[in-house]
Amino acid sequence: MQSDIGVFLRSWLASPLKVGAIAPSGRALARMMTRSIGPATGHVVELGPGTGVFTRSLLLRGVREQDLTLIEFNEEFAHRLRRRFPKARVICTSAANIGNVDFRRRSSVGAVVSGLPLLSMPVATVSSILRGSFEHLRQGGDFFQFTYACRSPVDEQTLGMLSLQSSLVGSTWMNLPPASVYGIHRLGAPR
Ligand SMILES: C[S@@+](CC[C@H](N)C(=O)[O-])C[C@H]1O[C@@H](n2cnc3c(N)ncnc32)[C@H](O)[C@@H]1O
């Protein structure tokens, strides 16, 4: 089987804006993305998991594999994820469809972890992804997103329209390229 870096590079060459990175994220970024998540979080949804760097970190944090829903639209990545995490639910579709994904209970998701290239997506797609995610997130549940930019990955206007706000979780130089993690939460939600 081809290495994860090989598959990533090939997918990036085929559609750079959709894949958004030439290689999987590093472990330092994975730890930062998942640092507020643990066994008590319950169900976690991961958007754009790629080859599963954040997925592995979620498992190390104590999230049960059967409590993971992975939404990835690249078929080759989805195939790898199914082999690697056989107890997780892997859905091969666009994250913009998350609002239509069926979860057993309403508002039962404890956190959403996103590796999506939000900055290269149309605003309408970003809005669908956030609206759908927050329909499933329980009160106090956060949406974690990383970015290579020096600002929030979602602009103020889109956040305001959805009654959301974002705050910086942290930044790491131990990633290629260096990256920052933001937590997006409902406006006024206690921190
Ligand atoms: C920057 S890569 C991040 C992969 C992985 N999370 C990591 O950090 O190594 C972005 C991932 O999002 C996926 N992706 C991009 N747009 C998507 C969409 N609309 N719906 C689902 N997955 C998407 C890509 O196929 C790719 O796996």
Q: Could you tell me the strand order of the sheet in which 89-91 lies?
A: 89-91, 68-71, 43-47, 109-114, 137-147, 179-186, 164-172
Residue nearest to ligand 1 atom 18, measured at CA: 94
Q: Where are the domains of the chain?
A: 25-186
> For ligand 1, what atom is nearest to the CA of residue 23?
9
Alpha helices in the chain (DSSP H): 4-14, 16-19, 27-33, 53-60, 75-84, 123-136, 156-161
pLDDT in tens, the chain (191 residues): 679 888 888 988 998 888 888 889 999 999 999 999 999 999 999 999 999 999 999 999 999 999 999 999 999 999 999 999 999 999 999 999 999 999 877 778 999 999 999 999 999 999 999 999 999 999 999 999 999 999 999 999 999 999 999 999 999 999 999 999 999 999 876 66
Q: What are the tokens at 22?
A: 């030439």
Please give all residues whose beta carbon lies within 6 A of any atom in ligand 1, as ranges.
Answer: 18-21, 24-25, 47-50, 53-54, 71-74, 77, 94-96, 115-117
The pTM of this model reads: 0.96
Cα–Cα nearest to 133, from 169, 181, 97, 165: 97
Structural fold of domain 25-186? Rossmann fold (3.40.50)
What are the residues facing 17 on neighbouring strands? none
Residue nearest to ligand 1 atom 8, measured at CA: 25
Per DSSP bridges, beta strands 164-172 and 68-71 are unpaired
